[in-house]
A and B are shown apart, each in its own frame.
Chain A
Amino acid sequence: MPVEVRNLSHIYDAGGPFAFRALEDVSFRIADGEFVAVIGHTGSGKSTLVQHLNGLSKPTSGTVFVGNLNLSDKNTSLKEVRKKVGLVFQYPEYQLFEETVKADIGFGPKNLGLDAEEINDRVREAMELTELDYAELAEKSPFELSGGQKRRVAIAGVLAMEPDILILDEPAAGLDPAGRDNILSLIKKWHESGKTIIMVSHSMDDVADLAQHILVMNHGKLEMEGTPEEIFSKGQRLQEIGLGVPAVTALAMRLNALGFALPSNLYRMEDMEQALLHALKGGKHV
C-alpha cells in the first residue's frame, strides 16, 4: 500500500502566541514494500511527520494518502487507518500499562474488536516475531522486564494489529549494543517478510545498512530525498545541516582529502573494500 504526502504543512498552536511551524510543504511518495529511513537533526520535524501518516496529527494544510484512504477526509475511519499503519513511538516502553505482557500486547487487537481466540493467536504471533518467549513471559508483568524486552513488548503491541506499514520512531534509542542489533535485525526480517518499513533514526550507520529510500528533514522541510547512494554522496551538505555520515562514507571522505580518488557514493563496507583494493592495486594514491 503506497503512501503519498502532498504539500504537507503543520503548525503547532496555530494562531496562538507560540505558533510553531514544524513542517513546511513536504511532499514525497513511498512505494509498497519499501524500507524508508527518515533522518534529520533534533527538532527537524521527523516525529511530527510520521504522526501524520496514521492520522494522529492533522495537517494544517496539504494531504496524506495511505493507499486510497485520504487521511484529511472527515469520513475516513481512523480505525481503518490505524489497522493499516502501525506506529511505534519513541521510547514505546513508557506506554505499557497492563498487568501482564499478554494483555498489553492484546490491547491493540482488542480495540480492533477481535474475538478472544483471534487476539490470543495474534499475541502469540507477535511475541514470536519479536523473539519473546511466550511460555516464560506471557503472564509476567511488563514492568518486571529488562529494557530491551520492554521495548520488544511495546513493539509487539503494534505488530499484533498486523499493519501493512510499520513506522518506528527511533526504535534503537537508549538500548545497549546487543539490544540495538537485536531490534534492527528483527526490523530487517519484518521488511523481508513484505512489510513497508518507515524508520526514524539518528544513526547513519543503521540507515546505511538497512534503508532503500531516505528522507532528510531540515527545519521542517524535506531537504533531500533519494537512495542511500544519492544521499550519502552529499556528505558535505549532510554535515552542514547537523547530520553525520556513515563511518564508511566518513572514511572515504578523509581518504579522498589525503589524495585518494575513491567514488563519493561509498557507504557500505563491501563496496569500500572493493574500491580500496581497486585504488591500491591501481596505485592511484599518492
Chain B
Amino acid sequence: MREMTIGQFFPGTSFVHRLDPRTKLLIMLAYIVLVFLVKGFVGYGVLAVFLLAACLSAKVKIGYLLKTIKPIIVIVFITFVLNLFFTEGETPWLSLGPVKIYPEGVRFAVMMALRLIFLLMGTSLLTLTTSPMALTDALERLLKPLNKLHFPVHELSMMMTIALRFIPTLMEETDKIMKAQAARGADFDTGNLIDKAKAMLPLLVPLFVSAFRRADDLALAMEARCYHGGDRRTRMKELHYAKIDGIAAALTLLATLGIVAERIFL
C-alpha cells in the first residue's frame, strides 16, 4: 500500500520545487490543454522536450517518472487496441476476415496511447514536486474570485487539506487493524465475494470508529485554537511570484507556440 507512486511527494529544492504552486498549477492546466491540442508527432516531440526539461530540472529520475505509468498500463493498452481495430480508413494495411487494420488506425492508436502517457507523466511530475498542502493552497488562491459568487472556496480547500493530511494516517491505521485482526485468525483473501465482503467488517467498523473519533478530536482542537472560517484569515506562508515563475511561464509559452504552429502549418 505504501508503494503507490501516484500522488507521492518528494521534497526537494530544485528549480521546479521552488516554483510558486500557482504557477505550477497553471502550467499544468496549459500542459493538459496542449496534450489534447497536439496533432502529430512533431507536437509530441515538443511536449517530450518540455517534459524532459521539467523532469531534469526537478532532479526526478526519468525511470521513476516512467514507473508511474505502471498502474494505468492496462488502460493504455486497451485504449490502444480499441483504437487500432475500430478506426476506419481508406486502404487497410492488414485484413484478417472482418478485422481490418488501417494505417490511420495505427496512427490514431499510437496518438491516443501517447496522450494518456503524457497526461499521467505530467501530473505525476506535479505531485512529485509539490506538496499536497501547497497544491490546495494554490487552488484556494486561484479560485478566490469565485468567493464573490458565494462559492465556499476556503471551506472547500480546508476540507481538501484535511482529507489529504489524513490519507496516510488512515492507510497506516488500516494496515494496523488488518494485522491485529489477522492475529485473531481473520482471513481477508479467500472465499467468494460475499465471504470477502463479510470479512471486511472487522476492518471497517474499527476504521470508521477511529475516523469519527479523529474527526471529533480535530474539530475540538481547531475550535480550541479559535479557528473560524475563511474571512480575514491571514496566512503563515504567503505566496509570492518570483523571477523563476516568469522563466517557467515563458518556457511554457514557447512550447505552446510550437504546438499551435504545428496545428496551423502541418
Which residues in A have some Cβ–Cβ distance to B below 8 Å?
A: 12-13, 16-18, 51, 54, 56, 79, 82-83, 86-87, 89, 92, 94-97, 107-108, 111-112, 143, 157-158, 161
Contact = CB atoms under 8 A, between A and B. Distances in A.
Contacts of B201: 97
Contacts of B180: 89, 92, 94-95
Interface SS of chain B: helix, strand, loop or mixed? helix
Contacts of A16: 2-3
Interface string B166-187: 0000000000110111111111
Interface stretch (B76-84, B117-125, B205-213, B245-253): B205-213
A111 B183 contact: no
B258 interface: no
A51 B180 CA distance: 10
Given A89-B176, A94-B210, A97-B201, A158 B184 contact: yes
A278 B41 CA distance: 93
B10 interface: yes
Contacts of A86: 183
The contact size tier of chain B is 20 to 34
Contact of B206 (A97, A111, A112, A157): A97
Interface of B: 2-3, 8, 10, 64, 176-177, 179-187, 201-202, 205-206, 209-210
Contact of B181 (A17, A18, A95): A95
Nearest to A82: B185
A107 B180 CA distance: 12
A95 B185 contact: no
Given A16-B3, A17-B10, A96-B206, A56 B184 contact: no
B202 to A, nearest CB: 5
A16 B202 CA distance: 30
Nearest to B10: A17
A108 B202 contact: no
Contact of B182 (A12, A13, A56): A56
- 6 interchain residue pairs of minimum CB distance: A111-B185, A97-B205, A108-B184, A95-B180, A87-B183, A89-B180
Contacts of B181: 95, 107
